[in-house]
Amino acid sequence: MNSYVLWVKANPLGSAALQFAVLGTLGEWLAASCRRRRTALPFTALQLVLKAAAWALLGLVIKYGFSGMKGFTHALVDGHFLPGFLAQGLGWAFALSVFTNLLFGPQMMAFHRIEDNLIMGQRGFKGIQRAWWTLVWFWIPAHTVTFCLPVEYQIGLAAVWGLVLGLILGLSRA
């Protein structure tokens, strides 16, 4: 077993927080760099630390959300509320991704927007509808792939997907 898997198994919450703190903050910096066409840090040092902390907290929220949505989806399968082909394999990963992103995703994104607004001294939810659309066109397919992997790799890949989405959104606004 590789050291990454051992680390994630020994530190499920800490590893989720750290992976999101690093990759989420890096994704924001890359997106801002693409939009501004400069690599200068778009945050003050204090904002950078607070953003990393916000991403770490979001990593914990996502770790718990993934676990909770797995239980929810299992309950639907066990109660025969889902067709049998959604009980395993790619069907399971797709069903879990749909429920995670449509039932958990909007609230998680609103929470993250509130965090970011507090850090940046802003108000409102400008752009939240665009963020919510990513749940459909990006996150459902991305998390379908994520949920096909062993659990030890899922949070790490989710953090990487966040970085990828930051790049996509940054380049699309460049």
pLDDT, tens digit (0-9, with 9 covering 90-100), for 79-134? 999 999 999 999 999 999 999 999 999 999 999 999 999 999 999 998 899 899 99
Residue 102 located in a structural domain: yes
Using one digit for the tens of pLDDT, what is the confidence trace for 28-74? 888 888 888 777 778 899 999 999 999 999 999 999 999 999 999 99
Residue 122 located in a structural domain: yes
Is residue 162 within 8 A of residue 20, CB to CB? The reply is: yes
Q: 124 lies in which domain range?
A: 44-159
For the cut 70, the answer to whether the pLDDT of residue 1 exceeds it is no
Residue 65 located in a structural domain: yes
- The C-alpha atoms of residue 91 and residue 126 are separated, in whole angstroms, by 35
Total-model pTM: 0.93
Residue 13 located in a structural domain: no
Three-state secondary structure along 79-146? CCCCCHHHCCHHHHHHHHHHHHHHHHHHHHHHHHHHHHHHHHCCCCCCCHHHHHHHHHHHHHHHHHHH
Residue 167 located in a structural domain: no
Residue 121 located in a structural domain: yes
Residue 38 located in a structural domain: no
Residue 30 located in a structural domain: no
Q: In total, how many domains does the chain have?
A: 1
